[in-house]
């Protein structure tokens, strides 16, 4: 790791966790065998960002193909406008199918990588691993070796999935619906490899979730009750429960799919009396709750970043905490809304009604966040810009879910670009934007360096513009009847598709600015103070970057996570930031209690 921070404590036992252990080989070995949750979190972060890059390239390829509709020259019979086929040097310009095949593989690649390898593990495995023990005042997660094993399982599963790409790619879509997934590319191992990859990644997810649940139960610092935990911890806890309870079902489903493909057991094959809709039920029984594994940690990041950057006690702490658990509970009973068109009317109506329940705890959160911002002393920096972006984009994503959950409107909108736009607003506008907020917010803590604020805000604004250009247009396309997963379209749609593709390029620019900003920060960034934003939670008590066992001595929890109105933040230095004005008639500020043994 080239970005090893030089920290001087004058105390040999309390070096930064990033400190090198000898030469380059020794350092690599040290990282590869580490059981330190901080290093594992950082390794996850880099692995996930790499997969985000791969999935992003596939997304750009998909958008590039859709820049113009495919046309066939009436005179020569030549296919025009198949960019991907031209890019990969296809020698059959008279047929559209090679180009369509590449397109199908690209969107499958994009979906599978982004869902299984990026968004599901993104916030819990990277920020969660790094922050959970720090926020709880613990030295590590409950099972550190299991934690390292989860990372290796993640890498192993990713290699499985990526190897299927090297063998030519999979064209099933990320949902692997039968009977297509059981028959396509018959006799070729690549679909099995991809499915097994997802199966293996599931184990990584289960073990991480299990580890976090036990950590929250058993390793809270003395004095920290359940309602003294930061809301990020509540969110991680809720999503960890879903991970533990839902992932085994996808495990058996994917295993049965592999048996179906390899041995022809017939459970999902209608020709043998099996039922392909059973696969969909099994699949969504996992994959719908997992939508909330993706978004809940994002909501947790937003709760924490929002309160800290607004320097204000969070509004409705318990409401937000219970909303997380409420979303986790409801998430298990709404899976049927993915199959409205293949179920009985009664079942569809029941699932539709249950689906609307999700809106209640979600709206509770959004209103509480807005309530928190009211009269806060809001810092205008990259984490805050991303947080505000989250509120906009996630609200749009959530509200466009309502017409999809309503049976009458869903009949028109399902399998259209409206669905694509909806879940990108939730998944990317929600989870990825929250991840970006979280990375910037905790970057000084993770690496002990500040990033360039101007570049960060610039990148965020460009991402915001690019994102809306890419996906707002897709809502319009969807309402006009553009079906999803097609490599071409009627010329009437070209204008909106073009805008969407330009938007994807702007997104790329925004993310590249962030990438260079991060690299510049690691190379020449200013040294970060222990508490650059004035946070109250335990991770801001630790050094930046934290020492190997996180804290000097054993920390004790003496105040609530967002007591900005009555406690001076740890390591407060008037040079860094001013204290928020005490509320009229409020209690006087008290000093933050230092560590017991500091």
Partner 1 sequence: MSTLSTSSSSKPLWARYKPAIHFRNAAEEFDACKLGFWLFLTTEVLLFGGIFCAYFIFRTLYPDAWKEGSGLLDWRFGAGNTVVLLLSSYTMAVSIYCIQKDQQFRAQLNLIATLFFGALFLYIKLAYEYIPKWSVGKRPGSMFDYPFAESAHLPLWWSVYYCGTAIHAAHVIIGMILIARVLWRTTKRHYGPTHYTMVEITGLYWHLVDLIWIFLFPLLYLIH
- Sole window of 17-25, 241-249, 356-364, 369-377 interacting with partner 1 (rule: CB under 8 A): 241-249
| CA of residue 171 relative to chain centroid, distance | 24
Give the one residue of 214, 354, 509, 556 binding partner 1; rule: CB under 8 A: 214
- Give the position of tokens 């997304």: 59
Cβ(570)–Cβ(592) below 8 Å: yes
Give the one residue of 114, 256, 306, 487 binding partner 1; rule: CB under 8 A: 256
Give the one residue of 62, 119, 192, 210 binding partner 1; rule: CB under 8 A: 210
Q: Cα dist. 55→106, 156, 165 in Å?
A: 9, 17, 12
- DSSP one-letter string for 125-147: IIIIHHHHHHHHT-SS-S-HHHH
DSSP state of 593: P
Give the one residue of 98, 173, 189, 248 binding partner 1; rule: CB under 8 A: 248
The answer to whether 333 contacts partner 1 (rule: CB under 8 A) is no
Please identify, using beta-carbon distances, which residue of 219 and 455 lies nearer to partner 1. 219
Q: Name the minimum Å distance from CB 285 to partner 1.
A: 9
Beta bridge partners of 567: 590
The answer to whether 245 contacts partner 1 (rule: CB under 8 A) is yes
The answer to whether 249 contacts partner 1 (rule: CB under 8 A) is yes
- Sole window of 154-162, 165-173, 213-221, 378-386 interacting with partner 1 (rule: CB under 8 A): 213-221
Q: Name the minimum Å distance from CB 38 to partner 1.
A: 13
Token pair of 65 as six digits? 């193909």
Please identify, using beta-carbon distances, which residue of 339 and 499 lies nearer to partner 1. 339
Please state, in angstroms and rounded to a whole number, the distance separating the CA atoms of residues 99 and 475: 26
Please state, in angstroms and rounded to a whole number, the distance separating the CA atoms of residues 377 and 306: 11
Q: Is the dihedral of CA 122, 124, 130, 131 positive or negative?
A: positive
The answer to whether 144 contacts partner 1 (rule: CB under 8 A) is yes
Please state, in angstroms and rounded to a whole number, the distance separating the CA atoms of residues 392 and 384: 13
Q: Name the minimum Å distance from CB 28 to partner 1.
A: 24
Please identify, using beta-carbon distances, which residue of 140 and 543 lies nearer to partner 1. 140
Q: Coil, strand or helix: which one is 32?
A: helix
Please state, in angstroms and rounded to a whole number, the distance separating the CA atoms of residues 221 and 91: 65
Q: Name the minimum Å distance from CB 158 to partner 1.
A: 21
Q: Name the minimum Å distance from CB 516 to partner 1.
A: 37
Please identify, using beta-carbon distances, which residue of 206 and 522 lies nearer to partner 1. 206
Task: List CB contacts of 341: < 8 A, sequence separation 6 or more.
Answer: 411, 414
For residues 375-413, b (16+ Cβ closer than 10 Å) or e, as one string?
A: ebebeebbbbbbbbbbbebbbbbbebbeebbbbeebeeb
The answer to whether 253 contacts partner 1 (rule: CB under 8 A) is yes
Positions in 531-550 near partner 1 (CB under 8 A): 549
Please identify, using beta-carbon distances, which residue of 77 and 264 lies nearer to partner 1. 264
Positions in 273-292 near partner 1 (CB under 8 A): 273-275, 278, 282
The answer to whether 196 contacts partner 1 (rule: CB under 8 A) is no
Q: Which residues bind partner 1 (CB under 8 A)?
A: 133, 138-146, 206, 210-211, 213-214, 217-219, 244-245, 247-249, 251-253, 255-256, 259-260, 263-267, 269, 272-275, 278, 282, 549
């Amino acid at each position: 790791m080239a970005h090893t921070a030089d920290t001087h404590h004058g105390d040999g036992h309390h070096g930064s966790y990033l400190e090198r252990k000898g030469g380059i080989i020794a350092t690599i070995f040290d990282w590869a065998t580490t059981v330190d949750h901080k290093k594992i979190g950082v390794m996850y972060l880099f692995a996930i960002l790499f997969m985000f890059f791969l999935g992003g390239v596939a997304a750009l390829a998909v958008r590039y193909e859709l820049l113009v509709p495919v046309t066939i020259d009436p005179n020569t019979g030549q296919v025009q406008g198949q960019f991907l086929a031209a890019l990969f040097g296809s020698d059959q310009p008279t047929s559209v199918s090679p180009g369509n095949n590449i397109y199908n593989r690209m969107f499958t690649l994009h979906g599978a990588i982004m869902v299984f390898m990026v968004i599901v593990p993104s916030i819990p495995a990277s920020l969660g691993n790094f922050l959970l023990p720090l926020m709880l005042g613990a030295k590590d997660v409950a099972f550190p070796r299991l934690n390292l094993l989860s990372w290796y399982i993640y890498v192993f599963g990713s290699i499985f999935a990526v190897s299927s790409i090297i063998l030519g790619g999979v064209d099933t879509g990320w949902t692997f619906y039968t009977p297509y997934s059981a028959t396509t590319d018959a006799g070729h191992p690549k679909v099995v490899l991809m499915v097994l990859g997802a199966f293996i990644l599931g184990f990584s997810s289960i073990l991480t979730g299990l580890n976090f649940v036990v950590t929250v139960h058993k390793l809270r610092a003395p004095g920290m009750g359940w309602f003294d935990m930061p809301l990020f911890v509540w969110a991680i806890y809720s999503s960890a429960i879903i991970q533990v309870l839902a992932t085994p079902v996808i495990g058996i489903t994917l295993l049965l799919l592999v048996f179906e493909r390899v041995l022809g057991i017939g459970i999902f094959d209608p020709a043998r009396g099996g039922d392909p809709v059973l696969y969909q039920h099994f699949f969504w029984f996992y994959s719908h709750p997992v939508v909330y594994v993706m978004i809940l940690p994002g909501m947790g990041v937003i709760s924490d970043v929002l309160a800290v950057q607004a320097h204000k006690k969070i509004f409705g702490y318990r409401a937000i905490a219970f909303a997380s658990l409420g979303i986790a509970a409801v998430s298990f009973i709404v899976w049927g809304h993915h199959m409205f068109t293949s179920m009985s009317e009664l079942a569809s109506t029941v699932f539709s009604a249950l689906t609307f329940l999700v809106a209640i705890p979600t709206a509770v959160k959004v209103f509480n966040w807005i309530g928190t911002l009211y009269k806060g002393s809001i810092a205008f920096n990259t984490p805050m810009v991303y947080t505000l972006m989250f509120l906009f984009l996630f609200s749009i994503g959530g509200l466009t879910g309502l017409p999809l959950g309503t049976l009458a409107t869903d009949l028109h909108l399902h399998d259209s670009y409206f669905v694509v736009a909806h879940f990108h607003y939730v998944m990317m506008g929600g989870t990825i934007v929250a991840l970006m907020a979280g990375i910037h917010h905790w970057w000084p803590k993770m690496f002990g360096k500040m990033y360039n604020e101007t570049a960060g805000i610039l990148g965020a604004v460009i991402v915001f513009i690019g994102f809306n250009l890419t996906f707002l247009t897709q809502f319009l396309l969807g309402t006009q009847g553009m079906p999803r997963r097609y490599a071409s379209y009627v010329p009437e749609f070209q204008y909106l598709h073009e805008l969407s593709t330009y938007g994807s390029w702007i997104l790329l620019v925004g993310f590249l600015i962030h990438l260079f900003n991060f690299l510049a920060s690691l190379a020449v960034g200013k040294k970060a103070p222990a508490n650059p934003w004035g946070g109250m939670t335990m991770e801001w008590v630790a050094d930046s970057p934290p020492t190997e066992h996180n804290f000097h001595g054993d920390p004790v929890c003496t105040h609530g996570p967002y007591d900005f109105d009555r406690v001076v933040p740890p390591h407060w230095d008037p040079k860094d930031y001013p204290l928020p004005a005490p509320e009229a008639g409020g209690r006087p500020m008290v000093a933050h209690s230092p560590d017991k043994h500091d």
